[in-house]
Each structure stands twice: as structure tokens, then as C-alpha cells.
């Protein structure tokens, strides 16, 4: 399942969205806005914008993860709009019969989410 949303991502509801019929392991990773990146000017927030068909690109990522690892389910969520430091930008969640596959799939998925071509960000500096 993939979602592109403008409203906040609520960690408490994510677990229930995943299929866990055969799962022995469930992993959820939340990416959050950093206040100050390494050796850069202070950042208080970030504006995330769509640059194309995000859903299609995210669906391709989810399908790749399911083809490569033994997963029961994959959930990818990306947030759009202006976010403050500490807010959730994105989520990757997966369930699997084994922990090795779920950890590898999530790590690989995080890498792909960071490189999305249909998603751009503009950092908002401290005033």
C-alpha cells in the first residue's frame, strides 16, 4: 500500500494498516525533519512538493521490495507541505515471516524513498 498525504502521519494507526497473517516480524521506520543538517545553516522546517506521479514511483518501490524479499506487506507513506523540525516526513513499514527480510527490505526502501525523482524539498531557515 502506498499513500501520499498532506495531514500528519500518526504512528499509532500504522501498525493496524499492515497485513500480518504470516508475520513473525514487523518493522516501522519513520523519517523526521532534522533541525540542523551537518555543518549547514539552521533549518526550522522543510517544504515538500510533488514533481510528478509520486504514487507510481512509490508503487514501483513497493513492488520491487516485495519481489526481492519474502514480505507479507509493505506500506510507504510520503507527506507533502510545510513540516517543522521533528515532524514525520515519511514512513516505510513491512511485515515478514522473518526479521532478516523485513530489515533488509526497509533499509533498501529508505534508500529508494530518499532518491525519489517525483518529490522535492526546500529547507526553511531560521529567521
CATH of the domain at 116: 3.90.1170.40
Q: What is the pLDDT of residue 122?
A: 84
Range of the domain at 44: 2-10+22-125
**Residue 15 resides in a domain:** no
Domains identified in the chain, total number: 1
Map residue 108 onto helix, strand or coil. helix
**Residue 17 resides in a domain:** no
- pTM for the whole structure: 0.86
Q: What is the pLDDT of residue 39?
A: 63
Can you tell me the distance from the alpha carbon of 12 to that of 23, in angstroms, rounded to the nearest whole number? 19
**Residue 16 resides in a domain:** no
For residues 99 and 20, the answer to whether their CB atoms sit within 8 Å is: no
**Residue 95 resides in a domain:** yes
Average pLDDT of the residues of the chain: 90
- Please list the ranges in the chain whose pLDDT falls under 50: none
Q: Compute how many other C-beta atoms are within 10 angstroms of the C-beta atom of residue 110.
A: 13
**Residue 55 resides in a domain:** yes
Map residue 75 onto helix, strand or coil. strand
Amino acid at each position: 500500500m502506498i499513500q501520499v498525504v498532506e495531514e500528519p502521519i500518526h504512528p499509532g494507526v500504522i501498525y493496524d494498516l499492515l497485513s500480518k497473517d504470516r508475520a513473525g516480524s514487523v518493522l516501522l521506520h519513520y523519517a523526521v525533519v532534522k533541525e540542523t543538517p551537518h555543518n549547514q545553516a539552521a533549518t526550522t522546517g522543510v517544504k515538500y512538493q510533488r514533481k510528478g506521479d509520486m504514487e507510481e514511483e512509490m508503487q514501483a518501490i513497493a513492488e520491487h521490495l516485495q519481489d526481492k524479499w519474502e514480505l507479507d506487506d509493505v506500506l510507504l507513506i510520503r507527506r507533502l507541505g510545510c513540516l517543522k523540525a521533528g515532524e514525520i516526513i515519511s514512513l516505510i513499514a513491512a511485515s515478514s515471516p522473518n526479521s532478516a527480510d523485513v530489515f533488509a527490505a526497509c533499509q533498501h526502501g529508505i534508500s529508494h524513498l530518499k532518491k525519489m525523482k517525483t518529490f522535492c524539498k526546500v529547507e526553511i531557515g531560521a529567521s
